[in-house]
Amino acid sequence: MRLFECILLLCLIVCAVSVAFTRDLLTSIIIFMSYSLLMCLIWMILQSPDLAITEAAVGAGVTSILFFLTLKKIRAIRKEEQNEQEEG
C-alpha cells in the first residue's frame, strides 16, 4: 500500500510539472484532470472519503468541465476570427 501511495505521489508531481510544460492546452487540461483523479485516490488512501468524493465531483468533474468550456469558447472565437479574415 505504501509503495502504491508513493507511486501515486510521484505521478502527481509528474502531472504537475507536465502541466507547466505542455504546449497544447487541451493536453494540459486532460493532464490536470488526471492530476485531480490521482489526488482523489490519495485521499482515499488517507482515509478521507469525504474529500475524495468531493474532489472527484468538484475538482475532476466541474472544474475540468469549466476548463474544457473555456477552451472551446476560445477556439470558437478564434475560428470566427479566421472566418472573418478569410471573408475580408
Partner 1 sequence: MSRRRDNYETSRWLRFKKWVDGETDPLSSGMDAIPVVTEGQMRERRKNLALRKAYDEELTRLSAEHADKTEIMKARGIRNFQKFYKVMSVILCLAIISVLLWTIAALPVTGGADNPANNEVAARYIEKGLQETGAVNIVTGMILDYRAFDTFGESCVLFIASCCVLVLLRLDADSKNDNIKKMIAESDDRHFEPKDDIILQKCACVLVPVIMIFGIYIVLNGHLSPGGGFSGGAVLGSGLILYLNAYGYKKMSRLFTEKVYRRTTLCALTFYCLAKSYSFFTGANHLESGIPTGTPGAILSSGLILPLNICVGLVVACTMYAFYTLFRKGGM
Partner 2 sequence: MIQHLSLNIEETVAVILFGVGFTILLLHRNLIKKIMGMNIMDTATYLFLASKGYITGRAVPIVVDGVQEVSAYINPVPSGLVLTGIVVSVSTTALMLSLTIRLYERYHSLDLDEILILAKEEEQT
Site residues (CB under 8 A) for partner 2?
A: 5-6, 9-10, 12-13, 16-17, 19-20, 25, 28-29, 32, 35-36, 39, 42-43, 46-51, 54-55, 58-59, 62-63, 66-67, 69-71, 73-74, 77-78, 81
Per rule CB under 8 A, is residue 69 in the interface with partner 1? Answer: yes
Q: Please choose which of partner 1, partner 2, none residue 26 contacts, taking the beta carbon within 5 to 8 angstroms, the exact cut-off set by kind.
A: none
The DSSP string of 17-78 is: HHHHH-S-HHHHHHHHHHHHHHHHHHHHHTT-HHHHHHIIIIIIIIIHHHHHHHHHHHHHHH
